[in-house]
Structure 1
Amino acid sequence: MSSINANAKKSEITLYSFGGFGSNLLYVLTTSFLLYFYTDVFKISPIAVGSVFLIVRLIDAILDPMIGMLADRTNSKWGTYRPWLIFGSPLLAMVTLLLFTAPHLSPSAKIYYAIATYVGYSFVSSIVNIPYHSLTAILSQDSSQRTVIATAKQFMGTFGALVASAAVLPLIALFGSGQKGWFFTTLLFSILSIASFWLCAHGAKRHDIKKVNSKNDSSSIDGHPTLKAQINIITKNKPLLLLLIAFLANMVAFVTSISTSIYYWQYNIGRLDLFSKLNLWGTLISIPVFMLIPPLVKKFGKKHVYMYASLFSIIPFVVILLIPYKNVMPIFVLSIIISLIGPLTSVLPWTMLPDCVDYGKWKTGINGSGTVHSMAIFTNKVGGAIGGLISGAVLGAVGYVAGQHQTPEVLKTIGYMNFLVPILGYIVIVIVMKFYPITNEFSAKMVEEINNREKKNEAAV
């Protein structure tokens, strides 16, 4: 157990954080551009695209929790979670490439192809990302260092998001535009993601060398958690259930906004060139905010920083929603401000998940990091599906036609999806966080009791 309980070295945290780059590189590529790729490149109707998103997420409802539970039960010479990164990341690269391929098919065959490739992508993404996020909880048991670890991986994830959001359109043009441009851009991103996940796995090698659940645990059979105990990690975990509601609200808002953002800058503002610039400058300006997260959390606690950051995020969304489209630069500046606050609302939920892992272990006696993180990723996918369904279905319902001059009704709807939906999401988060029970003091108490329990178990052997 000593290797698992030991704090992580700075070099290990740095290597582990590269997983955030690879993960966000492909994640932001799909969330930001897949709807646009389907409607404007693959030529699938927006309503059909929304249906594809919904079908895939319903399948994920079954698969993701199973993957998390299976990851917690893994016992190999490569560790518990690392083999999923080592062997899964090349497969993820391949299915992502298929996802952004547009073969010449009939309209109905295109939908079947989209469903098949998106199911494949979503499944393989889970078998890589659930273990990747699960490693955070075993790299260190120190709550303050966990905040540093989660911040580091989200910080590196920001660079992945930056490359995906700012470089996609220029790279597509560089590689020849159209389907050819999309193929080679995705190929480049896929190769970078493999290298990132392998670096991540190497960084966690010292800590992920054995089963994370001991045979002495009361809720295990031969070192494997029982199914009932793994389910209890979720159902008897009030902090996790509240945090999952926040994850859901945040992801519905994020995906609805980000998937319609390219439409907003192309059709509402008429300045598609500003879309890539916004992503570039918004990300660069937000970088110093990552450095503020550990000291803010140490002083005010994760719960309060997350709650007030969400509350302050509402203000620029409201202002943009109220001003006319002709005010291009004010809208651009306010959008930059949204990006500036973004690290606080995106990082904090992930720093809180390891505390929910501790809460589950405190209650059940087993480490369910894979189970807990699988529920977070599943919830994110459901939120993404709802956001994608809203975006696609609503655009189709109001009469959006790709590449054409849009009606005032369509333009107004794009604006609402881009700004009103996030406002509602952040309101839900503020309310939910009022009831979240884990504070810095509560977390320290849980870890102390867990360590005392484990020492007693080891002494009894």
Structure 2
Amino acid sequence: MTAVMSPTRAQTLRNRYGYGIGTIGRDAAYTLLSMFLLYYLSDTLQVSTPVFAAITVILLVVRVIDAIVDPFVGVLVDNTRSRFGKFKPWIVGGVLGSSSLLVALFAPWQLGDAAFIAVFTVVYIAWSAAYAANDIGYWSMLPALTQNQREREKIGAFARICASIGTFAIVIGIVPISSAIAEATGDVASSFFWVALVVAVITVVLQLVMVVLVREDPTVVTQSHTRFRELFGVIFRNDQLLAIAAAFVLFMTAFSVTAGLGVFYMEYVYGDLGMYSVFAAVLGVSQLTALALYPLAASRMSRRRLFTIALFIVVAGYVFFFLTPPGGLVMLVGAGVAVFAAQAVIQIQLLMFIADTVEYGEHKFGRRNDSITLSVQPFIYKLSSALANGVIGWVVLASGMKDAASAAEMTEPGVFLVRTAMCIVPGILIVISYFVYRRFYVLDEGKYAVIVEELQARKTEAATAAQSTSPADEAEGRPVGA
């Protein structure tokens, strides 16, 4: 006879897998924009050099401003009270808006240079605002699903697996799919538009599935209204949140530069753009494998030890990558596997480290601010993406890739600049990020367990005190038991 699963266990599984499913489309959409927007403008639309330079600066400025605004959006999410909870209205509204605007960003507008820059800027700012609403609502829901650290890791690991599926579906498919569309339609400029449209539809559908499946933990108590003037206190007094944010801005900037230059590298340094999809497929499989094995590794060693091992592998991969000779595909793949597999592990840990600082802040300051705290994760990604886009745009122009027709037209100094920007500079940033983490982040598994235990004791004590107070005593102002 088949055992009947308890509702609690059933909902736990629905949370674990439903939450992860929602990341597939949204990460595909983010990857399309963050990794391939500059390539689309440079090589598909072939905008002029002044337009490309202007948009590079616009992306940098808007993303920095957007990152700074994210914590304010976190306040709005934290203060939301609705029949659907505080997270889901922002998730749904944000995904509908950002998906529509994603399609608009890849529309092949036939405009003059000044008009193109103006329209692009307006649409990009609107997309950033809508994506921020969805992003903060989405990730700040994680701590509200469970306070069990191991279950959080399982939810986070599966979410990162699904996110990687979305990411690498774009990374692997963008070149052959857009080329096939261009050949079939005879319109190269609109090829990315159709890809963006399909991605937008998938994103909306899967996020709506997530909203239906996922339920918050009813034992997680929502705090009172948070004022905007309290925002900076929530963030800047949480020393553990600041420590992990500083470390990961350095790490994600380094990795984003490498990932963003990848398609340029394969076309203008390696000399075979067609190999980009093959290379990306190998990296995707390695990353998914690392994510699938993460729960097993996390159960056998401490987070700090696992983080240290992963950082060492990433740096070794960068060194190996830099030493790879032209045409050395085997060495290139080996270096890529090391970097991307270890990076997958580090991204899960970033999410876990930040999520744990929610309870740390609640324990330290007596109030719980899921969304403000988790808004630091998109802040990290957006700030690092902004810095990386600035570096990538500069490298594309300074190395000669913008004006080169193929790898044969690249100069030796230009190739050296690309390789240095992809390997040496990121490696240095990652080493610095590790020292920041080891020096300042002390919230390990033991400290977190003590914090959660004390929080539960406080809630039990408060509930007992409330039950022991009689309504009559409260009404007449008499001490209880008098």
TM-score relative to the length of structure 1 = 0.92
Counterpart pick for 1:440 among 437, 445, 453: 445
Distance in structure 2 (CA, Å) of the matches to 1:337 and 1:255: 16
- Identity, in percent, stands at 21
Distance in structure 2 (CA, Å) of the matches to 1:262 and 1:32: 9
Matching residue of 2:57:
51
Counterpart pick for 1:87 among 77, 90, 93: 93
Matching residue of 2:110:
104
For residue 438 of structure 1, what is the amino acid of its counterpart? L
The superposition leaves residues 174-215 of structure 1 with CA deviations (integer Å, 9 ceiling, x where unpaired) of: 3225222111110000011111211222232x317899524x
Does residue 1:455 correspond to 2:464, yes or no? no
Matching residue of 2:203:
193
Does residue 1:138 correspond to 2:144, yes or no? yes
For residue 264 of structure 1, what is the amino acid of its counterpart? Y
Matching residue of 1:369:
370
Distance in structure 1 (CA, Å) of the matches to 2:311 and 2:404: 35
Do the aligned partners of residues 289 and 399 (structure 1) sit closer, same or farther apart at CA in structure 2, a change above 3 Å counting? Answer: closer
Matching residue of 1:32:
35
**1:348 to partner: Cα distance:** 1.2
Distance in structure 2 (CA, Å) of the matches to 1:438 and 1:372: 15
What is the 5 A alignment of 1:337-348? 337-348=338-349
Does residue 1:203 correspond to 2:213, yes or no? yes
Matching residue of 2:274:
273
**1:27 to partner: Cα distance:** 1.4
Counterpart pick for 1:13 among 8, 12, 16: 16
For residue 216 of structure 2, what is the amino acid of its counterpart? H
For residue 343 of structure 2, what is the amino acid of its counterpart? G
Does residue 1:430 correspond to 2:434, yes or no? yes
Matching residue of 1:116:
122
Q: Secondary structure of the equivalent of 1:178?
A: coil
For residue 407 of structure 1, what is the amino acid of its counterpart? T
Distance in structure 1 (CA, Å) of the matches to 2:9 and 2:24: 25
Question: How many aligned positions are there?
Answer: 448
Higher relative contact order (CA 8 A, sep 6+): 1
Matching residue of 1:218:
none
Matching residue of 2:421:
417
Does residue 1:308 correspond to 2:309, yes or no? yes
> What 5-or-longer segments of structure 2 have no aligned partner?
1-7, 467-482
Distance in structure 2 (CA, Å) of the matches to 1:99 and 1:304: 42
- 1:93, 1:194 within 8 Å by CA — same for their partners in 2? yes
**1:75 to partner: Cα distance:** 0.5
**1:262 to partner: Cα distance:** 0.7
Q: Secondary structure of the equivalent of 1:434?
A: helix
Matching residue of 2:153:
147
Does residue 1:72 correspond to 2:65, yes or no? no
Distance in structure 2 (CA, Å) of the matches to 1:242 and 1:428: 13
Distance in structure 2 (CA, Å) of the matches to 1:212 and 1:235: 23
Matching residue of 1:256:
257
Report which stretch shifted further, 137-146 or 317-326: 317-326
Distance in structure 1 (CA, Å) of the matches to 2:289 and 2:321: 24
Q: Secondary structure of the equivalent of 2:261?
A: helix
- 1:50, 1:389 within 8 Å by CA — same for their partners in 2? yes
- 1:72, 1:212 within 8 Å by CA — same for their partners in 2? no
The superposition leaves residues 78-107 of structure 1 with CA deviations (integer Å, 9 ceiling, x where unpaired) of: 111011112221111101111112311122
Distance in structure 1 (CA, Å) of the matches to 2:90 and 2:61: 25
Distance in structure 1 (CA, Å) of the matches to 2:230 and 2:465: 22
**1:139 to partner: Cα distance:** 0.5
Does residue 1:159 correspond to 2:202, yes or no? no
For residue 28 of structure 1, what is the amino acid of its counterpart? T
Distance in structure 1 (CA, Å) of the matches to 2:30 and 2:62: 15
For residue 427 of structure 1, what is the amino acid of its counterpart? V
For residue 85 of structure 2, what is the amino acid of its counterpart? G
Report which stretch shifted further, 154-163 or 425-434: 425-434
- 1:81, 1:208 within 8 Å by CA — same for their partners in 2? no
Distance in structure 2 (CA, Å) of the matches to 1:97 and 1:394: 27
TM-score relative to the length of structure 2 = 0.88
**Higher Rg:** 2
> What 5-or-longer segments of structure 1 have no aligned partner?
215-222
For residue 456 of structure 2, what is the amino acid of its counterpart? N
The superposition leaves residues 435-455 of structure 1 with CA deviations (integer Å, 9 ceiling, x where unpaired) of: 210111001011111111222
Counterpart pick for 2:25 among 22, 25, 31: 22
